[in-house]
Amino acid sequence: MRDRFTGTAVLSSQQASDLGTLGYVARASGLAVDARWDHPVLPPPQKRLCYEQTGGDVLARFSGRAEEIGRSIEMIAHLVKQMDGRVSATSEHVDDVGRPGRSGVGITEGWRALSFTG
C-alpha cells in the first residue's frame, strides 16, 4: 500500500491554500486548519493534532486520517471521563429537546468547505 500511496496525487501547501481546502486534505498538505480548534465548543483535552506526514500525497492523507481516528477515540474517552461514566442524558435534559427557544449548532469539516447546521 505504501508504494501505491507515496507520491500519488500530491497537493502542495500552496496548492491546498489556493484551492481553499480544509480538513484532513489541508492538514496533510501542511496547513494548520482544524474546525475542532478553530471553532471550539468544548475546552480541548490535549494539544492540537500535528500530522506526522505533510507531504500532500495520498499517504499523508491516509496517515492523517488514521491519526485522527486515534485522536477521536482519545477525545471521546476524555469526555466520557468528564461525565463520570454517564453516557445517557438525564430525564431533565430529554425533556428540553424540541422545546421552543432551544437550539444547537453542528460543524462538519469537509475537504472543501465547513458545513454549519442548526
For the chain, 118 residues long, give each residue's pLDDT as a single digit of tens.
788 999 999 999 999 999 988 888 999 999 988 887 777 766 665 666 677 788 999 999 999 989 888 888 887 887 788 777 665 655 455 555 556 776 777 777 776 667 766 6
Q: What is the pLDDT, as a whole number, of residue 87?
A: 59
Domain that holds residue 72: 2-117
Give the DSSP letter string of the chain.
-HHHHTTSS---HHHHHHHT--HHHHHHTT----HHHHS-SS--SSPPP--S--S-SHHHHHHHHHHHHHHHHHHHHHHHHHTTT--S--HHHHHHTT-TT----EEEE-SS-EEEE-
pTM of the model: 0.67
Per-residue pLDDT at 58? 95
The total domain count for the chain is 1
